Amino acid sequence: EAGVAQSPRYKIIEKRQSVAFWCNPISGHATLYWYQQILGQGPKLLIQFQNNGVVDDSQLPKDRFSAERLKGVDSTLKIQPAKLEDSAVYLCASNRFAGGGETQYFGPGTRLLVL
């Protein structure tokens, strides 16, 4: 079974530029998560999708971040315009459904550096 795929693996941009990340979850997984992991910290949930609907985006900075999962499969996360403090690893995770004890499977992440 293929794992969660993410691309690109690395991205360097200048502040005020735009960037987009892509995630393809494990086949059949209804729930998809985007996390931000700043160096030295644990992952912080940005947005959670159940199929193509948003379940939780309370910690997504909506003035600059957007995410979509149009067909309930793969997803994109966009930052426009980027700030220096957006430098982090962006992790995508998925599981079959959102429920207590359900395992989340993480992708390798996209490492973003904003100069």
Partner 1 sequence: TQLLEQSPQFLSIQEGENLTVYCNSSSVFSSLQWYRQEPGEGPVLLVTVVTGGEVKKLKRLTFQFGDARKDSSLHITAAQPGDTGLYLCAGAGDSSYKLIFGSGTRLLVRP
- The footprint of partner 1 (CB under 8 A) covers 4, 40-45, 48, 56, 91, 93, 98-109
CB contact at 8 A, 102 and 76:
no
Shortest spacing between CB 25 and partner 1, in angstroms:
12
Nearer to partner 1, 28 or 99 (CB): 99
* Residue type (1 letter), 93: A
CB 49 within 8 A of CB 69: yes
Min. distance of Cβ 102 from partner 1 in angstroms? Answer: 7
* Min separation Cβ 111 and partner 1, Å: 8
Tell me whether residue 20 or residue 98 sits nearer to partner 1 (CB atom): 98
User: 83 near 64, Cβ under 8 Å?
Assistant: yes
DSSP three-state, residue 84: helix
Q: For residue 66, what is the DSSP state?
A: E
- Shorter beta-carbon distance to partner 1: residue 16 or 62: 62
